Structure 1
Amino acid sequence: MDIIQWIFIIIIAVFLIQRFMPVKGITNITTEQAKNKFKDKDVQFIDVRTPGEYKANHRKPFKNIPLNQLPKRISELNENKEVVVICQSGMRSAKAAKLLKKSGFTNVSNVKGGMSAWV
């Protein structure tokens, strides 16, 4: 293998590691831990599923802001309050949590397993 192939392999490895490593400042919580936060007025609850998914099955007090709309609607959220994010499985909400973190939110929680884990 020549040097260019090694550089290419290293770049791919770094990309994959960054993609799947947890982001600092994002806490993964259980559905039970999310439920325990429902009475806290300083917590914002965001469901990033599609409007159809949300309509079919959602929990109050989660507000529906689909993942693809989040960058445009981020101003609806208070950067100084905790944000709890959920989706169906936890994958889209993890992306949303990263986006919030990169946008300056300091206290972001992702519900592990999403609505699929809700009991």
Structure 2
Amino acid sequence: MTIPELSPEAFYNRWPQNEVGEEVQLLDVREVAELELASLPAADHIPMGQIPQRLGELDSKKPIVVMCHGGARSLRVAQFLISQGFKEVFNLSGGIDAWSKQVDPKVPQY
């Protein structure tokens, strides 16, 4: 199963920050400790291990862009969401690390 990838720059251009939450759900699947190092205010946070129990918190009618630190965990979660019937799911390629490099250098890298 191929998961569509969005670069941070493409995501930022497609959905301005004021539309995140309204038009698209940005799902951060990193662990709580990682949020203390770097985070995006508009993202909803559900750690990867809790996704199966918390599917009801996701809006299947909106596109979902899944992110993590570097893109590997988010890819696995995106595959899982599609297997659960979610239709429009994207992986944020390079994760929050790439976001810091491509979109907002004020977001700390770790």
The TM-score, its normalising length taken from structure 2, stands at 0.81
SS state of the match for residue 96, structure 1? helix
CA contact (8 A) 1:47 1:54 kept: no
Q: Which has the larger radius of gyration?
A: 1
Residue in 2 aligned with 1:76? 57
Residue in 1 aligned with 2:4? 27
Aligned AA (2:67): I
Structure 1 residue 81 displacement after superposition: 0.8
Matched, 1:114 2:95: yes
The TM-score, its normalising length taken from structure 1, stands at 0.75
Picking from 71, 77, 84, the partner of 1:90 is 71
Q: Which one has more relative contact order, counting CA pairs under 8 Å at least 6 apart?
A: 2
- 1: CA distance, partners of 2:86 / 2:38: 27
- 1: CA distance, partners of 2:41 / 2:9: 14
Picking from 35, 39, 60, the partner of 2:18 is 39
Matched, 1:48 2:34: no
Aligned AA (2:41): K
- 1: CA distance, partners of 2:41 / 2:10: 15
| Greater percentage in helix | 1
- Which sections of structure 2, spanning at least 5 residues, go unmatched? 102-110
- Which sections of structure 1, spanning at least 5 residues, go unmatched? 1-22
Aligned AA (1:80): K
Residues 85-106 of structure 1 show CA distances to partners (whole Å, capped at 9, x for unaligned) of: 1000100000010011011110
Alignment RMSD: 1.2
Q: Which runs of 4+ in 1 moved over 6 A?
A: none
Aligned AA (2:10): Q
Residues 40-95 of structure 1 show CA distances to partners (whole Å, capped at 9, x for unaligned) of: 32200100000110122011211111000011111101111100110001000000
Residues 13-64 of structure 1 show CA distances to partners (whole Å, capped at 9, x for unaligned) of: xxxxxxxxxx24x310001122231333220010000011012201121111
